Structure 1
Amino acid sequence: MIWVIIALVVFIFQVLTILIVEYRHPSKAVAWQLILFVFPLIGFVTYYFMAKEFQRKRTVRRHGIVSTELRLRALRRTKLIHRISDLGDGQFIHQERLFHLLQSFSMSPITSCNKIEVLQNGHETYEQILKAIEQAEDHIHMEYYTIRDDRIGERFKEVLIRKAMAGVQVRIIYDGVGSYETHGSYFSELESAGIQTCCFLPPRLAFFEKRMNYRNHRKIVIIDGTTGFLGGINIGDEYLNGNSKLGFWRDTHLGIYGDAVYSLQDIFMRDWWFAAREKLSGQNLFPEHQCQSNEQVQIVSSGPDSSANAVLECYFNAIAVAKSRIYITSPYFIPDTSLLMGLRTAALSGVDVRLIIPQVCDSQIVMFASLSYVEELLEAGVRIYRYQKGFIHSKTLIVDRLLASIGTANIDMRSFFSNFELTAILFNSGSIEQVEKDFRRDLQASEELRLSSFKSRPRLHKIGEAASRLLSPLL
């Protein structure tokens, strides 16, 4: 009897601990309680090592100030957007609330001296990045969630080694979990050629530091401080040829030439300091450049090291002010309560809300979790499509003629609360139209879900969706 009482006390202690620590995230607390109920002791040990709140160290904050000062010194030479009348081809004139939110991201000002290139899929993206690398004269900075030692990985390695041997400074950050399958010899060869590589939170270190759950999901390339790339594409053959399970891999990336690269550089410098403990400085990181075009861009980053959820706040506010349309593409769709309510309310108010998700997915539990939201969205008038041509990995958002977003963040709680992410907000009509053109092309390769037929799905699927949704805050 005494052992039953002890076990009950221990279990209650575990439950109360999770409730107290996760009081700001009720859905996350419920998910962990479910795991704890099924695996009483193992669940709590897993929680202890994986779910510790990520706290930004004092050294990271201090370096953030230093790198920001360097970047802002460079931006003083350029034109920033400070007035609402100057933003978005006049589309923002009555959007004071959204404008003030964007202006509140002081570390990511809206720049207006940029040339934008929307890139589709791996072939086009890799060719543009490799071309830019070949033209590098001072430095190459790369930051990826996944770098594979396959054919495209070998091609990148050869080019980077050649540039390093020619005197170009090359630095690479890769995520410890995302690149876990890549052999250490791959990075050893790079380092032997003088390239600096750094693993962001190696799995073993992250486990014992209780930060295993926090991953660097950013994809950044910076060439000489004036050319940059970001989006959904990592370095791996699946982005070129798909794979046997998922087939064709549809993705979206972005090339930026101009002032917005300063913001990318600042993000890389802070991530490099966190991962490598090396402070980068010098005006060569923020060089002067010729203004090739006047496209307006804002780089918005977020992560568990910040008290704000900038990407989520930006998406929510943009959705809340939509008047005519909201178009979203996301391979993983697990919205938090605020975004779910925003999409439902918009559709019920007559806004044309459309969502593209995959037909095939690399995770069945994530797919079930995504489908658990479909019925209530369809009932509200949201039009949902499943991509049929292969696996769609693009992460895009279009709101009216106000803005479009291309980035690394999915519409899921992991991207908003646990991962280090970033997105580029585009304001000019030409850029928005290009993203919309690609969205409509993807619609043609998708099948629309109908409420009547979706309701008739097998009962087993519904059970899987319910269970996956409970666990979705942890996926």
Structure 2
Amino acid sequence: MLWIILILLLFIFQAATILLCEYKRPSKSIAWLSILFIFPIIGFFMYYFIAREYVRRKKVHGHSGEISLDHKLQGAPYQVILDTRNDEGSFLSGEQRLRDWLRQVPRAPITKWNRVDVLTNADVTYEAMLEEIGKAQDHIHFEFYTIRDDAIGRKFQEALIAKAKAGVTVRVIYDGVGSHSLSTAYITSLKRAGIAVEPFLKPLIAFFDKRLNYRNHRKIVVVDGLVGFVGGINIGNEYVGGDPKLGFWRDTHIMLHGDAVYDLQRTFLTDWFFVSGESLGEKRYYPAHSEGEPSFVQVISSGPDARWDAIQEMYFAGLIAAKNRIWITTPYFIPDPSITMALKSAAISGVDVRVILPFKADSLIVQYASKSYLQELLQVGVRVYLYRKGFIHAKVIIVDDLMATVGTANMDMRSFYSNFELNAVMFDPRVISRLESDFVMDLEACSEVVLSEFEMRSLGEKRKERIARLLSPLF
């Protein structure tokens, strides 16, 4: 009898610990409690090592908090941000609430002088990146969630090595989980050429330091502090259709010139400080640029080290500001309750809400979890489309003609709360129109989900969806 009481007390202690640590995230609490019920003790061991709150760790405070005290990384000396006296009339006119919220995002100034080029798919993106890398004179900063040792990876490897041998400073960050298959030989060849290479948490280190659940999902290229890239595309053959299962890969990236590049630079240097301990803030990393046309851009970073869930809150602020349309493209759709309610409220009030999701999935559990949200959205008028040409990996949201965002964050809880992400928010009608054209093009390769047909799926399918949704905060 005594041992039964002890086991019960141990279980109560484990459950209480999860509830107290995850009180801000009820869905995550339920997911981990489910794991604990299914796998007693082992479930708590898993939680302790991979899911405890990242922001509470003293060491990790140094990732954003400590470096923000370094005045050298506060911003570029030449950067022009929104002038409240002169620019408000032309910026989000009539949307004071949204404008005021965006201006409060920490370390994310709304910049004025920019040029934005939308890059559709990886072949165009890789060509532009390699061209700019080839032009580099001073430095190249290269950060990706996934870098593969394949044909595409070796193209970039050769380009970076060539510039390093020519005297250009090259720094590379890769995520230890996303790039777990990257070969030692690949990394060694970069280092031998004089390139500084650092992982953002190797899997084994992350496990024992209890941070395996947190990944650097950012994709950043900055060349000479004057041109930058951000979006959904990593470095690998699959992005040019090399995955036989997924086939054609549809994605979106952007190339930036101007003030917003300084914020990409600052994000990279913040990450570099975290992985290497080296603080870099010289003016060479923030050179003067010559962009003379106004195009407002805001670069927003988020991660489990921050007090704000900045990208999730930006998505929510944009959704509730919509009057005419919300068009979303995302490969992973696991919205939290606030985003779900914002989408439903918009659709009920007559806003044209459309969501493009992949028909083919690279993760079955995520696909089933995504399907679990569809019926309630379809019932209130949200239109859902499944992309059938291949795999769609773009992360794009268009709100009216007010704003559009492209970046690394999916519309799922991992991107909102667990990953380090980076998005660019753009307010230029020309850029929004260009993204709109891509969205319309993608619709032609989609089939629409019909509510009456979707409701007829089997009981087994519905059970899979419920289980996947229950566990989805962990994936």
Is TM > 0.5 for Structure 1 vs Structure 2?
yes
Structure 1 regions of 5+ residues with no counterpart? none
Aligned-pair distance for 1:242?
3.7
Show the counterpart of 2:182: 182
Determine the structure 1 residue equivalent to 2:61. Answer: 57
TM alignment of 1:249-264, pairs within 5 A: 249-264=249-264
Q: CA, structure 1 residues 343+287, in 2 after alignment: closer, same or farther (shift >3 Å)?
A: same
Q: Which residue of 1 aligns with 2:230?
A: 230
> Aligned runs of 1:219-368 on 2, under 5 Å?
219-291=219-291, 293-368=293-368
State whether residues 114 and 297 of structure 1, in contact with CA within 8 Å, keep that contact through their aligned partners in structure 2.
yes
Question: Using the alignment, how far apart are the partners of 2:76 and 2:231 within structure 1?
Answer: 27
Alpha-carbon contact 2:72-2:281 (below 8 Å) kept = no
**Cα distance in 2 between the residues matched to 1:117 and 1:65:** 33
Tell me the equivalent position of 1:165: 165
Distance verdict in 2 for CA 1:472–1:117, change over 3 Å: same
Return the offset for 1:277. Answer: 1.0
> Partner of 1:380: helix, strand, or coil?
coil
**Offset at 1:70?**
4.3
Change (3 A) 1:337 1:463: same
Partner-residue secondary structure (3-state), 2:185: helix
User: Could you say which residue in structure 2 is the equivalent of 1:28?
Assistant: 28
Match of residue 81 from structure 2: 80
Aligned position for 2:129: 129
What is the identity, as a one-letter code, of the residue corresponding to 2:65? R
Q: What one-letter code is carried by the residue in structure 2 that aligns with 1:249? A: W
Mean CA deviation greater in 259-268 or 5-14: 5-14
Give, in whole Å, the separation in 1 of the partners of 2:174 and 2:337.
32
Structure 2 gaps of 5+ residues are none
Q: Does structure 1 conserve the Cα–Cα contact (< 8 Å) formed by 2:75 and 2:263?
A: no
Alpha-carbon distance in structure 1 between the residues aligned to 2:434 and 2:85 = 23
1:142-157 equivalent positions in 2, closer than 5 A: 142-157=142-157
Following TM superposition, the consecutive aligned residue runs of length 4 or more in structure 1 with deviations greater than 4 angstroms are 68-71
Contact 1:85 1:93 in 2 (8 A): no
With over 3 angstroms needed to count, the CA separation of the structure-2 counterparts of 1:456 and 1:84, relative to structure 1, is farther
Higher mean Cα deviation, 216-225 or 105-114?
Answer: 105-114
Measure, in 2, the Cα distance between the counterparts of 1:227 and 1:344.
Answer: 38
Question: CA shift at 1:61, angstroms?
Answer: 2.0
Partner of 2:103: 103
Report the Cα distance in structure 2 between the residues aligned to 1:370 and 1:91, rounded to whole angstroms: 35
CA distance, structure 1, for counterparts of residue 39 and residue 431 of structure 2: 50
Q: Give the Cα–Cα distance (whole angstroms) in 1 for the partners of residues 36 and 110 of structure 2.
A: 45
Alpha-carbon distance in structure 2 between the residues aligned to 1:350 and 1:462 = 29
Mapped to 2, the partners of 1:292 and 1:188 lie a distance apart of 42
Distance 1:342 1:217 in 2: 25
- Offset of residue 108 of structure 1: 1.3
Distance 2:307 2:463 in 1: 35
1:77-132 Cα offsets, whole Å, 9 max, x none, are: 34321338736x94622211111111112411111111110001110000000000
Partner Cα distance (1:169, 1:72) in 2? 21
Q: Report the TM-score, using the length of structure 1 for normalisation.
A: 0.97
Shift of 1:72: 2.8
Q: Do the aligned partners of 1:70 and 1:286 also contact (CA within 8 Å) in 2?
A: no
Instruction: Name the counterpart of 1:390.
Output: 390
**Offset of residue 289 of structure 1:** 1.4
Give 1:293 deviation, angstroms: 3.2
Deviation, 1:295, is 1.6
CA contact (8 A) 1:63 1:270 kept: yes
Residues 365-398 of structure 1 show CA distances to partners (whole Å, capped at 9, x for unaligned) of 0000000000000001000000010000000000
**1:98 alignment partner, SS class:** helix
Structure 1 residue 73: Cα displacement? 4.6
Closer, same or farther: CA 281–403 of 1 in aligned 2, 3 Å: same
The Cα offsets for residues 168-226 of structure 1, whole Å up to 9 and x where unpaired, read as 00000000000001111100100000000000011111111111100000000000001
Contact between 1:143 and 1:221, CA under 8 Å: does it hold in 2? yes
Conservation of the 8 A alpha-carbon contact between 1:199 and 1:275? yes
Deviations 1:228-247 (A, max 9, x none): 00000000000012411111
Q: Is the 8 A contact 1:71 1:263 kept in 2?
A: no
1:391-420 deviations in whole A, cap 9, x for unaligned? 000000000111000000000000000000
**Distance across 2 between alignment mates of 1:206 and 1:78:** 36
SS in 1 for 2:69: helix
Q: Which amino acid aligns with 1:181?
A: S
Please tell me the residue identity of whatever aligns with 1:187. I
The letter for the 2-side match of 1:416 is: F
Deviations 1:37-74 (A, max 9, x none): 000111000000011111232475232232x6445352
Contact 1:84 1:96 in 2 (8 A): no
The CA RMSD over aligned residues, in Å, is 1.4
8 Å Cα contact 1:141/1:223 also seen in 2: yes
* Residues 60 and 273, structure 1, Cα contact 8 Å, conserved in 2: no
Structure 1 residue 469, shift from structure 2 partner: 0.5
The CA deviation string for residues 9-54 of structure 1, in whole angstroms up to 9 with x for no partner, is 1111111111111111111000000000000111000000011111
- Cα distance in 2 between the residues matched to 1:144 and 1:293: 30
The one-letter code sitting in structure 1 at the alignment partner of 2:445 is A
Give the aligned length. 471
Contact 2:76 2:262 in 1 (8 A): no
Residue identity in the other structure for 1:61 = G
Distance 1:12 1:457 in 2: 38
Name which of structure 1's ranges 104-113 and 144-153 shifts more when overlaid on structure 2.
104-113
- The DSSP-based 3-state class of the residue aligned with 1:72 is coil
CA contact (8 A) 1:85 1:92 kept: no
Partner amino acid, structure 2, of 1:165: K
Distance 1:198 1:184 in 2: 12
Deviation at 1:2, TM superposition (A): 2.4
Q: Distance in 2 between matches of 1:384 and 1:328?
A: 10
Residue 458 (structure 1) shift: 1.4
DSSP-derived class of the 2:425 partner: strand
Q: Distance in 2 between matches of 1:138 and 1:272?
A: 17
Using the alignment, how far apart are the partners of 1:462 and 1:222 within structure 2? 45
